[in-house]
Amino acid sequence: MESDEEKPEVASDDDETDADSKKKKRGSFWRELPVLLVVAVVVALLVRTFVLQSFWIPSGSMENTLQLNDYILANKLIYDFRDPERGEVIVFHAPESWRSDPNEEDFIKRVIAVGGDRVSYNPDEGFIRVNGRKLNEKSYLYKDPVTGVQQSPSLNDESFKLTVPKGRLWVMGDHRWASADSRERFRRTHHNRYASTIPVSAVVGKAFVLIWPIDRWSVLTVPDTFDSVPDPK
Protein backbone atom coordinates (compact mmCIF):
# COMPACT_ATOMS: atom_id res chain seq x y z
CA MET A 1 0.00 0.00 0.00
CA GLU A 2 1.33 3.42 -0.87
CA SER A 3 1.84 5.90 1.97
CA ASP A 4 -0.02 9.20 1.95
CA GLU A 5 3.15 10.96 3.11
CA GLU A 6 4.89 13.04 0.46
CA LYS A 7 8.06 11.54 -0.79
CA PRO A 8 11.13 13.77 -0.41
CA GLU A 9 12.29 15.33 -3.64
CA VAL A 10 15.56 14.09 -4.92
CA ALA A 11 17.80 16.59 -6.75
CA SER A 12 18.43 15.51 -10.30
CA ASP A 13 21.76 15.71 -12.04
CA ASP A 14 20.35 18.60 -14.11
CA ASP A 15 19.56 20.61 -10.94
CA GLU A 16 23.07 20.11 -9.64
CA THR A 17 24.52 21.16 -12.98
CA ASP A 18 22.42 24.38 -13.03
CA ALA A 19 23.44 25.26 -9.48
CA ASP A 20 27.11 24.72 -10.24
CA SER A 21 26.79 26.80 -13.37
CA LYS A 22 25.23 29.72 -11.47
CA LYS A 23 27.96 29.58 -8.84
CA LYS A 24 30.62 29.61 -11.51
CA LYS A 25 28.99 32.61 -13.22
CA ARG A 26 28.81 34.54 -9.95
CA GLY A 27 32.41 33.69 -9.20
CA SER A 28 33.48 34.63 -12.70
CA PHE A 29 31.73 38.03 -12.45
CA TRP A 30 33.51 38.96 -9.21
CA ARG A 31 36.84 37.85 -10.61
CA GLU A 32 36.29 39.89 -13.77
CA LEU A 33 34.94 42.99 -12.02
CA PRO A 34 38.36 44.48 -11.10
CA VAL A 35 39.53 43.98 -14.68
CA LEU A 36 36.38 45.67 -16.03
CA LEU A 37 36.86 48.61 -13.67
CA VAL A 38 40.49 49.01 -14.72
CA VAL A 39 39.50 48.91 -18.39
CA ALA A 40 36.75 51.50 -17.79
CA VAL A 41 39.21 53.83 -16.03
CA VAL A 42 41.80 53.43 -18.79
CA VAL A 43 39.22 54.11 -21.50
CA ALA A 44 37.98 57.21 -19.62
CA LEU A 45 41.53 58.51 -19.26
CA LEU A 46 42.27 57.90 -22.94
CA VAL A 47 39.08 59.70 -23.98
CA ARG A 48 39.87 62.65 -21.70
CA THR A 49 43.48 62.83 -22.84
CA PHE A 50 43.02 62.41 -26.57
CA VAL A 51 39.37 62.86 -27.56
CA LEU A 52 37.01 64.84 -25.31
CA GLN A 53 37.39 67.05 -22.25
CA SER A 54 35.05 69.29 -20.28
CA PHE A 55 36.10 72.81 -19.34
CA TRP A 56 34.71 75.25 -16.78
CA ILE A 57 34.12 78.86 -17.84
CA PRO A 58 35.71 81.06 -15.13
CA SER A 59 34.91 84.52 -16.55
CA GLY A 60 32.45 86.52 -18.59
CA SER A 61 34.73 87.03 -21.59
CA MET A 62 32.53 84.89 -23.85
CA GLU A 63 29.16 86.30 -22.79
CA ASN A 64 26.43 85.99 -23.88
CA THR A 65 27.42 82.83 -25.75
CA LEU A 66 28.94 81.31 -22.60
CA GLN A 67 28.19 82.44 -19.07
CA LEU A 68 30.27 82.39 -15.90
CA ASN A 69 30.38 78.85 -14.43
CA ASP A 70 29.15 77.16 -17.62
CA TYR A 71 30.73 73.88 -18.68
CA ILE A 72 31.57 73.07 -22.27
CA LEU A 73 32.83 69.95 -24.00
CA ALA A 74 35.82 70.23 -26.34
CA ASN A 75 36.87 67.91 -29.15
CA LYS A 76 40.63 67.43 -28.71
CA LEU A 77 41.09 65.16 -31.70
CA ILE A 78 39.72 67.27 -34.55
CA TYR A 79 42.77 69.52 -34.93
CA ASP A 80 45.04 66.55 -35.39
CA PHE A 81 43.50 66.41 -38.88
CA ARG A 82 43.00 70.10 -39.72
CA ASP A 83 43.70 73.60 -38.42
CA PRO A 84 41.15 75.73 -36.58
CA GLU A 85 38.82 77.72 -38.82
CA ARG A 86 37.29 81.18 -38.61
CA GLY A 87 34.28 81.41 -36.31
CA GLU A 88 35.08 78.34 -34.24
CA VAL A 89 35.22 78.58 -30.44
CA ILE A 90 38.49 77.07 -29.25
CA VAL A 91 40.24 76.19 -26.00
CA PHE A 92 43.96 76.97 -26.01
CA HIS A 93 47.00 77.21 -23.75
CA ALA A 94 47.38 80.95 -23.27
CA PRO A 95 50.83 82.53 -23.48
CA GLU A 96 52.06 83.54 -20.04
CA SER A 97 51.95 87.21 -21.01
CA TRP A 98 48.18 86.89 -21.53
CA ARG A 99 47.48 85.61 -18.01
CA SER A 100 46.56 87.80 -15.08
CA ASP A 101 46.87 84.66 -12.94
CA PRO A 102 49.76 82.27 -13.78
CA ASN A 103 47.49 79.32 -12.94
CA GLU A 104 44.95 80.31 -15.59
CA GLU A 105 46.43 78.21 -18.35
CA ASP A 106 43.46 77.40 -20.58
CA PHE A 107 41.57 80.22 -22.33
CA ILE A 108 38.47 80.02 -24.50
CA LYS A 109 37.92 82.47 -27.39
CA ARG A 110 36.47 82.66 -30.89
CA VAL A 111 38.75 82.46 -33.94
CA ILE A 112 38.22 85.64 -35.94
CA ALA A 113 41.09 85.35 -38.42
CA VAL A 114 43.66 82.71 -39.38
CA GLY A 115 47.20 82.86 -40.74
CA GLY A 116 47.50 85.14 -43.77
CA ASP A 117 44.19 86.93 -43.11
CA ARG A 118 43.97 90.71 -43.03
CA VAL A 119 41.87 91.72 -40.02
CA SER A 120 40.85 95.28 -39.14
CA TYR A 121 38.36 97.45 -37.30
CA ASN A 122 37.30 100.97 -38.22
CA PRO A 123 35.06 102.72 -35.64
CA ASP A 124 33.45 104.79 -38.39
CA GLU A 125 32.09 101.56 -39.87
CA GLY A 126 31.48 99.65 -36.64
CA PHE A 127 32.43 96.33 -38.25
CA ILE A 128 35.42 94.03 -38.11
CA ARG A 129 36.66 93.17 -41.59
CA VAL A 130 38.50 89.98 -42.53
CA ASN A 131 40.13 90.03 -45.96
CA GLY A 132 37.97 93.03 -46.79
CA ARG A 133 34.66 91.35 -45.89
CA LYS A 134 32.55 92.81 -43.10
CA LEU A 135 31.58 90.47 -40.27
CA ASN A 136 27.98 90.64 -39.07
CA GLU A 137 28.49 89.73 -35.41
CA LYS A 138 25.03 90.54 -34.07
CA SER A 139 24.22 86.88 -33.41
CA TYR A 140 26.96 86.41 -30.82
CA LEU A 141 28.42 89.78 -29.77
CA TYR A 142 27.68 90.71 -26.15
CA LYS A 143 24.42 92.47 -25.30
CA ASP A 144 23.75 94.13 -21.97
CA PRO A 145 21.07 91.92 -20.35
CA VAL A 146 19.36 94.97 -18.80
CA THR A 147 19.41 97.54 -21.60
CA GLY A 148 19.70 95.17 -24.56
CA VAL A 149 22.40 97.41 -26.02
CA GLN A 150 25.04 95.53 -28.03
CA GLN A 151 28.65 96.54 -27.44
CA SER A 152 30.94 97.51 -30.29
CA PRO A 153 33.35 94.88 -31.66
CA SER A 154 36.37 96.65 -30.13
CA LEU A 155 36.86 98.07 -26.63
CA ASN A 156 36.30 101.85 -26.65
CA ASP A 157 35.88 101.57 -30.43
CA GLU A 158 39.64 101.34 -30.74
CA SER A 159 40.80 100.70 -34.31
CA PHE A 160 43.28 98.02 -35.36
CA LYS A 161 44.69 96.62 -38.57
CA LEU A 162 47.15 93.81 -39.24
CA THR A 163 47.90 90.68 -41.22
CA VAL A 164 47.88 87.54 -39.09
CA PRO A 165 51.24 85.69 -39.32
CA LYS A 166 51.20 82.23 -40.88
CA GLY A 167 50.55 79.44 -38.41
CA ARG A 168 48.88 81.80 -35.93
CA LEU A 169 45.34 82.84 -34.98
CA TRP A 170 43.65 86.13 -34.09
CA VAL A 171 41.17 85.26 -31.32
CA MET A 172 38.60 87.39 -29.51
CA GLY A 173 36.03 86.90 -26.76
CA ASP A 174 32.37 87.50 -27.62
CA HIS A 175 32.28 90.01 -24.73
CA ARG A 176 34.86 92.26 -26.35
CA TRP A 177 34.96 94.86 -23.59
CA ALA A 178 35.79 92.26 -20.95
CA SER A 179 38.18 89.93 -22.75
CA ALA A 180 41.93 89.46 -22.56
CA ASP A 181 42.27 88.59 -26.22
CA SER A 182 44.20 89.42 -29.38
CA ARG A 183 42.90 93.00 -29.60
CA GLU A 184 43.87 93.68 -25.99
CA ARG A 185 47.36 92.23 -26.51
CA PHE A 186 47.73 94.17 -29.79
CA ARG A 187 47.23 97.41 -27.91
CA ARG A 188 49.41 96.47 -24.95
CA THR A 189 52.32 95.30 -27.10
CA HIS A 190 52.25 98.35 -29.38
CA HIS A 191 50.89 96.44 -32.35
CA ASN A 192 53.13 93.37 -32.13
CA ARG A 193 51.50 90.82 -34.46
CA TYR A 194 53.14 87.80 -32.85
CA ALA A 195 52.50 88.79 -29.25
CA SER A 196 48.83 89.46 -30.04
CA THR A 197 48.14 86.15 -31.78
CA ILE A 198 48.46 82.54 -30.68
CA PRO A 199 50.20 79.66 -32.46
CA VAL A 200 47.99 76.92 -33.87
CA SER A 201 50.06 74.47 -31.82
CA ALA A 202 48.69 76.04 -28.60
CA VAL A 203 45.12 74.99 -29.40
CA VAL A 204 43.77 72.25 -27.12
CA GLY A 205 40.48 71.58 -28.88
CA LYS A 206 37.27 72.84 -30.43
CA ALA A 207 34.45 73.72 -28.02
CA PHE A 208 31.39 72.22 -29.66
CA VAL A 209 28.66 71.90 -27.03
CA LEU A 210 27.52 73.69 -23.87
CA ILE A 211 26.73 70.86 -21.45
CA TRP A 212 25.93 72.69 -18.21
CA PRO A 213 23.60 74.04 -17.02
CA ILE A 214 21.17 71.60 -18.62
CA ASP A 215 18.53 74.24 -19.35
CA ARG A 216 21.01 76.07 -21.58
CA TRP A 217 22.36 73.01 -23.39
CA SER A 218 23.30 74.00 -26.94
CA VAL A 219 25.63 73.22 -29.82
CA LEU A 220 28.33 75.83 -30.50
CA THR A 221 28.14 76.35 -34.24
CA VAL A 222 30.08 78.63 -36.59
CA PRO A 223 28.08 81.82 -37.34
CA ASP A 224 26.99 82.15 -40.97
CA THR A 225 28.86 85.42 -41.45
CA PHE A 226 32.16 83.56 -41.61
CA ASP A 227 30.99 81.56 -44.64
CA SER A 228 31.38 84.57 -46.88
CA VAL A 229 34.92 85.50 -45.81
CA PRO A 230 37.27 85.01 -48.77
CA ASP A 231 40.68 83.43 -48.47
CA PRO A 232 43.58 85.88 -48.27
CA LYS A 233 45.12 86.93 -51.58
CA–CA separation, 157 and 55 (whole Å): 31
- Tell me, yes or no, if 109 is annotated catalytic: yes
Q: Which of 7, 12, 54, 61 is catalytic?
A: 61
**In 10 A of CB 210, how many CB atoms?**
21
| Residue 196 annotated in active site | no
Question: Which member of 109, 152, 182, 206 is catalytic?
Answer: 109
Where in the sequence numbering do the catalytic residues fall?
A: 61, 109
